[in-house]
Amino acid sequence: MPLPVLPFILLAVPLAEIATFVLVGSKIGVLPTIGLVIVTAIAGATLLRVQGLGTLARIRAQMDRGEMPGRDLVHGLMIMVAGVLLLMPGFITDTLGLLLFIPAIRDRVWRLMRDRILFTVQAQPFRSWGPEQGSGHGAGPGSGPRRTIELDSGDFSRTDEPDRH
């Protein structure tokens, strides 16, 4: 989304919400309108808890099996956004939030997004055999924790010493 569009959206959404409040309030009254906003906020918190915990359990199970939970991570993000939209007062944001709680719609959004997302998996930390290889302390993989120190080109220099035979 280009940056110049963001200020327009930040202005347009509240104005559209206000207009919707006025229209709904004129049809059903002020108190029922406020009641609807409160009910959708409670529904959003409940749906966020139920669906969010289920998604978290699926993510954890996939990670325990050594799989990358790409789809469920994106679903979890969409559930979180849906909960935030439902907690915000307004009928437009509530509608968008409720739509994101529907798994079929989340799957559709996932299919549109998955080719644009790059997931990387970080394997076990790299363990190299250092100069102390074979010396009995820290000689091989699994022999203890190793540290990786990253240096810039200016932080490291090498001087070759003549052989001492």
Nearest residue to 12 via CA among 90, 95, 99: 90
Count structural domains, the chain: 1
> Looking at the domain assignment, is residue 62 inside a domain?
yes
> Looking at the domain assignment, is residue 127 inside a domain?
no
> Looking at the domain assignment, is residue 31 inside a domain?
yes
pTM: 0.61
Q: What is the three-class DSSP state of 5?
A: helix
CA 37, 82, 64: angle at the middle one, nearest 5?
145
* Residue range 66-80: mean pLDDT, rounded: 85
CB 79 within 8 A of CB 52: yes
3-state helix, strand, coil in the chain (%, to 5): 65, 0, 35
Residues 57, 100: Cα–Cα separation, whole Å: 19
> Looking at the domain assignment, is residue 140 inside a domain?
no
Highest mean pLDDT, choosing among 22-26, 132-136, 141-145, 156-160? 22-26
Judged against a pLDDT cut of 50, whether residue 139 lies above it is answered with no
> Looking at the domain assignment, is residue 41 inside a domain?
yes
At 138, the pLDDT band (50, 70, 90 cuts) reads very low
Give residues with Cβ within 8 angstroms of 96, minimum separation 6.
82, 85
Two structure tokens written together for 58? 């699926």
Q: Which domain holds residue 75?
A: 11-116
> Looking at the domain assignment, is residue 158 inside a domain?
no
At 75, the pLDDT band (50, 70, 90 cuts) reads confident
